[in-house]
Amino acid sequence: MLKSETRKKLKRYIEELKTIKTETLQTDPKFLTVESTLYYLNNGKTIIREQLKKQNQDGSASIVLPVTKNKKILFVIEPRIGPKKTVAVGLPAGYIENNEKPLDAAIRELEEETGYVCTKYHLLAKYYQDPGISKAYNYAYLGLEAERLKEQSLDPTEAVRFLECDYDEALELIRLGYIEDLQAQFVLEKAKQYLSKRREPYEF
């Protein structure tokens, strides 16, 4: 069950960040671009495939599931173009910058989006996000002993709220359709699995 306090905060943040109007622009895309390539296969076939790039890069990203000293999971709430409610609950994440290590990107994005800092990180999974159209290769981390030590540091085009939840509340957020993001759902599974197998199982 969602605690009343969690539910109230969530509703407030969604109200604050929801889209009230949209306007289609005729300008050329600046962030997402597409390249066509002809692939000659070893079996003699040739196939055309289109590759999505983000800021002219592969679009590889790091994502982190932060768990606080009180065993709460830290989620971020952001405007998102995918979901019908125009606002989504997910995990801190962002693109890996040029020459940046994946773990450094995770640490940086967590700090920028929330001001939280973790003392330990564990790599939970790595994967291609959509390998049919993109070379984006993402790294998912568990961050332990998260604590709010800094202020958020957002781009002017970002609007991010954050929310601490119990693990059971997180499952309820999936069930209620607030956490609809594939990566957030997967990383939650992997974190639970990893923590339950530790020598001293870590109860959420």
- Min CB(61)–a second copy separation in Å: 10
Q: Please compute, for residue 57, the number of CA atoms within 13 A of its CA located in the half-sphere on the CB side.
A: 12
Looking at the DSSP assignment, which residues form a beta bridge with residue 77? 89, 161
Q: At what angle are helices 182-197 and 167-175 packed, to 10 degrees?
A: 150
Q: Say whether 148 sits in a helix, a strand or coil.
A: strand
C-alpha 123/C-alpha 139 separation (Å) is 7
CB-wise, 22 or 99, nearer to a second copy?
Answer: 22
> Shortest gap between Cβ of 22 and a second copy (angstroms)?
5
CA–CA gap between residue 190 and residue 167 (Å, rounded): 13
CA 19 – CA 33 distance, rounded (Å): 25
User: Please, which residue, 48 or 149, has the CB nearer to a second copy?
Assistant: 48
The residue (of 176 and 182) whose beta carbon lies closer to a second copy is 182
Q: How far is the CB of 124 from a second copy (least distance, A)?
A: 11
For residue 131, CA distances in Å to 47, 138, 161 come to 15, 11, 30
**Nearer CB in complex with a second copy: 145/168:** 168
Q: How far is the CB of 28 from a second copy (least distance, A)?
A: 8
CB count in 10 Å sphere of residue 43: 5
Task: Specify the residue, 1 or 38, whose C-beta has the smaller distance to a second copy.
Answer: 38
Q: How far is the CB of 198 from a second copy (least distance, A)?
A: 18
| Residue closer to a second copy, measured from CB, 133 or 176 | 133
In the structure encoding, which two tokens stand for residue 65, read together?
């599931």
**Cβ-based burial of 167 (10 A; exposed 0-12, middle 13-18, buried ≥19):** middle
> Least distance to a second copy from the beta carbon of 103, Å?
19
